[in-house]
A and B are shown apart, each in its own frame.
Chain A
Amino acid sequence: METEVSTIINWFLACATNDVPENGGACVKYRDEQIAIFNFSRRKEWYATQNLCPHKQQMVLSRGMIGSTGDAMEPKVACPFHKKTFSLITGECLNAEECAIKTYPVKVQDGRVYIGVE
C-alpha cells in the first residue's frame, strides 16, 4: 500500500515481511513510538497504524483481529480489549465515538516492510 503523501521524508525499515503473521498484526518500535503493522495477506495489502487504542489508552492494536466491513469492504482492526474497530485506511473509529487513530503509509520491497514517517 503506497499512498501519495508528499510530506513523507523517510521510509523507515520496520521489519521483514515474515515477521508479521498472515492476516494479522505485529508491533514495531520506531524511536519512542509504537506502530502496529498489519499484513492483510488475504487482500495482498499492508497497513500501519498507531499501536495505542484511544479508548482506554492501551498499547494493543497490533494484537487485534483485522477484517473488513460493508459493501466497500473497508479494512479494519478491532481492539482486543473492547472490540472498538478502526478503519485501516482513514483511522476513523467505525463503531463508537472514539477519536481516529493515526495511519501510516507502508511499502514492501524485497521481503522488507517500510513505514513512511514524517
Chain B
Amino acid sequence: MKTGPGQQTIIVIGNGMVGYKFCEKLVKKTKSFNLIVFGEEPRRAYDRVHLSEYFNGKTADDLSLSAENWYEENSITLYLSDPVQEINLAEKKVHSRNGISLNYDYLVLATGSGAFVPNIPGIEKEGVFVYRTIEDLEMMKAHAAKSKNGAVMGGGLLGLEAAKALLDLGIQETHVVEFAPRLMPRQIDSAGSNLLQTKLKELGLNVHLNKNTSEIAGGHKIESLKFNDETELKIDMLVISAGIRPRDELAKLAGLQTGTRGGIMVNEKMQTSNEFVYAIGECALYDNMIYGLVAPGYEMAEVALNQILAGEKAFYGFDMSTKLKLIGVDVASFGDNFITEPDCRTIVFEDTHKGVYKRINISNDGKYLLGGILIGDADAYNMLLQTVNNKLVLPPNPEDLILGARGGEASEGAGVMSLPDTALICSCEAVLKSAICDAVNLEGVTSVDGIKKCTKAGTGCGGCVPLIKDLVVGTMKENGVYIKNVICEHFDYSRQELLDLIKLHKIKTYDHALDLLGRGDGCEVCKPAVASILSGAWNDLIIKQDTIQDSNDRFLANIQKGGTYSVVPRIAGGEISPDALIVIGQVAKKYNLYTKITGGQRIDLFGAHLNDLPDIWEELMDAGMESGHAYGKSLRTVKSCVGSTWCRFGVHDSVSFAIQIENRYKGIRSPHKLKSGVSGCVRECAEAQAKDFGIIATEKGWNLYVCGNGGSKPQHAQLLASDIDSETCIKYLDRFLMFYIKTADPLTRTATWLNKMDGGMSYLKNVIINDSLGIAQQLEEEIQHLMSTYHCEWSEVVNDPQLRKKFTHFVNAPEEKDPTVAFEPLRDQVRAKEW
C-alpha cells in the first residue's frame, strides 16, 4: 500500500449506501487520507431504497450510485466480494476473507443490516427468500417464473415493498402475512391500516393480519404456511420481511460493545466503544435505536467524517417521517404520528369512497402541527412535514391543511415559498431551501433534474422531489397562482407576501423581484410598491433605483403644478432656530421660491426647477438642515404643542418628546405617509388624535393613540395604551410601526389598515402589547435595523456628481431649464400658472 509520509488510513467496512456516502463526502472535503473500502457484495454500492425498480426494467447498473471508474478516479482502493473477517483493535488492523491484512488509523463500520429471519420450522426450504440485495432479487426472479402463489411475511414498510416486487414479478396471487393487528405498525394507526388494506385488496394484494406462522410446510420445496390459529395458506414462494437485523457480528467478535437486541453501540460522535472505530448506518445503535432509513444514515456519515476531521458535529436522533408509494397507494407518516388526546387534538378525515385517510395531530393551543398520517393522498406531506419541522404557526382553520381551503381561495404553492430560508428540504443530502432557490436564481436551473445535479437534493430517498418541484416552479413563477389582494397584473402576491418573499430571497432590486416573483415588464403600480417594500426591508438609498420610484421619490422632492418641485427641510417637532429661518429665507429669495408654513409645522419652498434642486439642498445642508422626506411615503412630521417648557397648562415636555420621536423614525419608508403629534396636556393643541400615531401627556405619563387621520375621511385615533412612560411608549411605537410596514397593503393609511383588520383594535392591542403573535422582539429588531441605516438622501446626492447629473431637464442641454415653466405673481410672491 503506497501511503505518503504522514498520510493516515481510513478503512471503511461495507459498501452500501451509507458507506458509499461516507466516501463521497470525504473525498469532496479532502484527499489527504488513504481510503480503503471492503465490500461483501460483488458490485459497487447501489440504491437499495429503489430496489423494487429492478423488476420495473431498471438494471443493476442503473441502480449503481457511482460510475465504474469513480473509486479509481478518487484514489479509493475498493475490495469487492471480500468481507473483513477480523478486526484487531489493539493493533488497529483488519483481515479480510481473501487474506488481505491492513492497518488503519480510523475504522468505519458501515456493515448495514440483514433481513431478520425468524426461527420457524421449515425456513430452510426451497422457495423461501429474503429481500435485501440484487442477488436476492435475481434468485426471486428465477423462482417466480414457475410460481403461482406467493406471500410476504411481514406487513411493514419493507414487506409491502417486497409484495410489490412479487406483483411486478407476475405472481398471480400475492399475500401479505402480518403478526400485528395492523399493517405498517410503526407508521400508521388502525383506521389508516384498514383503509390501506382495502386499497391493497383492490390492487390484488390479500392481507392477513394477526397471523402467527407456526410452520413452513412442504417437502423439499415450500408448499404452505401454517398458522397458530390452525389455518393454512397454500403458496409456492415466500419472502421474509419481518424486520432488519443490524450486522454487528464482526464488531461483537472484535469486542466492541453491542446492544442486547443487536447493533453496534455509538455515542453522538458515532464512535463505538473504541475511539478509533466508528459505526454508521443501520448497523449503528444510537440511544437504543436503530435508524432504518437512508437519511439518518447519511447524517451519521457526515457526523463520523466531521469527527475524524476534528469537527464538532454530533448526531442527536433523526426525524423518521416517511412517505412512499406502495403499489400505487400513497402512505406517509410524519412528526409525532401516534400522539393522542389529551396530549394533543386530532383532526381526522376519512373517505372510504376514494380511499383517502388523513390524520393530523395539533397542539392543544391549536398553534402547531405535531404530526400525522396520510394514506391514499399524500400530496400535502412535504408541506406538513415542513410545518412540523419549522414550527410554522397554523392557520386559524388547521383542517384546511388536509381538506384544502374551501370557499374558492386555494393558495397552494404560496406555502412552499413562505418556508424559511433555512427549511431543510432534502434531509438525505441536507439541502436547505435557500440552496434550491439559489440554484434556480443564480445557476438558472429550471428542472428537478437540474436541481439534483446541482445540489444533490432529491437523489436520496426521493421523497422531497415534489417539494423541489414546487420550489422550482414557485421560484420561477412560471405558473401564476391566484392569490387575492395581488399588487397588480405583474405580481400575484399581496404586499405582505411580497415583503416576506423579498426578505426570504434577499432580493435587493426591482428587476430581480420581477424576474423571480413576477412576470412581464412591471408598471407604475408595482414599481413604487416594490420600491417601498425594498426600503422597508433593506433601507438602501432609494435613488439607486430611481426609475421605479414615483416621481417624488425619484427626484426627492414633491412635483407641483407646472412641473416644478417643492422642498421641505426637516423641522423636527416644529422647532426651528432663528438662524435656520434666515437661511431658508435667503435660499427662497435666491431661487425665487414661494414659501409657506405647512399643516405639519414645517416650511415648504415651492417652484424649484429640477436643475436647481441639488444647489438648493447644498445651501440648506451647509446650514445644518436635512431632508424632511416630504416626498416619500414615510414619516412626515411630528407636530407638537409647546408643552411644559413654556405653556402654563403643560404637563410634560411635548416638544422634546416630539423631536425625539421624529428623529427616531425619520426616513423610514412605509406603505403610506405617516403623521404624528405630541400634545403636552389634555387640551390637545397638537391634534394628536387626528394622526397615525398621537401621544398626549397625562399626569402619570403618556396616552398613546393610533390609526387616526385627517384627509377626506377623517377618523379619530384610538387609544392603544394609557399612562405609560416614554420608554414603553417608544417600545409600543416600534412594534406598531413595523407591524404596519409589514402587513398593510400599498397606499393604505393606518386608519384604513385598522378598519380592514380582523379583530380590529383589540387584536392590534394584543399583538402590540401582549405579543400574541410572538413577533414583538422581531418587530423591534427590524425597525432597529431601519433606524440604524438612516441616511439623509439629499446629502448622498449633493456629494455625488453622478447622482447630481440626474437632476437635469434636457439630457442634451443640461444647463437649460424647462422653458415652459411659468409663474404668476401672487401677493408678494409667485405662484404656478393655472392649468
Contact = CB atoms under 8 A, between A and B. Distances in A.
A18 to B, nearest CB: 10
Given A23-B547, A69-B489, A15 B521 contact: no
A28 to B, nearest CB: 5
Interface in B516-567: 520-524, 526-528, 546-548, 550-551, 554-555, 559, 561-563
Closest 4 CB pairs of A and B: A24-B547, A80-B551, A67-B523, A78-B524
Contacts of B563: 58-60
A67 B521 contact: yes
Contacts of A28: 810-812
A15 B812 contact: yes
A65 B548 contact: yes
A106 to B, nearest CB: 14
Nearest to A68: B521
Contact of A80 (B511, B550, B816): B550
B813 interface: yes
B524 A83 contact: yes
A65 B811 contact: no
Contacts of B511: 23, 42
Given A21-B806, A56-B835, A80-B550, A63 B811 contact: no
A20 interface: yes
Interface string B784-816: 000000000000000000000010011111001
Interface in B804-831: 806, 809-813, 816, 818, 820
Nearest to B526: A67
Given A23-B547, A81-B559, 5 more contacts: A21-B546, A21-B547, A59-B563, A67-B520, A75-B521
Interface residues of A, number: 39
A7 interface: no
Contact of A40 (B521, B550, B554, B816): B521
Given A60-B563, A65-B547, A69-B489, A29 B524 contact: no
B290 to A, nearest CB: 56
Interface string A51-80: 000001111100111111110010110101
Nearest to A56: B835
Interface string A9-35: 000001100011111111111000010
A103 interface: no
A44 to B, nearest CB: 11
Nearest to A24: B547
A58 B489 contact: no
- Per DSSP, chain A at the interface is strand
Nearest to A21: B547
B835 A80 contact: no
B803 to A, nearest CB: 11
A19 B562 CA distance: 24
Contacts of B523: 65, 67-69, 76, 78
22 contacts: A14-B812, A15-B812, A21-B806, A26-B811, A28-B810, A34-B818, A37-B811, A59-B563, A59-B818, A59-B820, A60-B551, A60-B559, A63-B559, A64-B524, A66-B547, A67-B523, A67-B524, A68-B522, A75-B521, A80-B550, A80-B551, A83-B524
A85 interface: yes
Contact of B551 (A20, A22, A63): A63
Nearest to B813: A29
A22 B489 CA distance: 22
A68 B528 CA distance: 15
B555 A63 contact: yes
Nearest to B549: A65
A27 B806 CA distance: 11
B527 A67 contact: yes
B817 to A, nearest CB: 11
A22 B559 contact: no
Contacts of B820: 34, 59
A24 B546 contact: yes
Given A42-B521, A67-B524, A68-B520, A19 B811 contact: yes
A60 B563 CA distance: 7
Contacts of A37: 811
Contacts of A34: 810, 818, 820
Nearest to B610: A63
Contact of B524 (A57, A60, A65, A75): A65
Contacts of A25: 547
Nearest to A25: B547
Contacts of B490: 67
Nearest to B519: A73
Nearest to B515: A42
Given A21-B547, A73-B520, A73-B521, A29 B812 contact: yes
A24 to B, nearest CB: 3
B522 A67 contact: yes
Contacts of A22: 547
Contacts of A58: 561-563, 835
A50 B406 CA distance: 51
A43 B521 contact: yes
Interface in A82-100: 83, 85
A113 B654 CA distance: 57
Given A21-B546, A59-B818, A63-B551, A27 B524 contact: no
A81 B555 CA distance: 14
Interface in B262-278: none
A62 to B, nearest CB: 9
Given A22-B547, A24-B546, A60-B551, A65 B527 contact: yes
Contacts of B521: 40, 42-43, 66-68, 73, 75
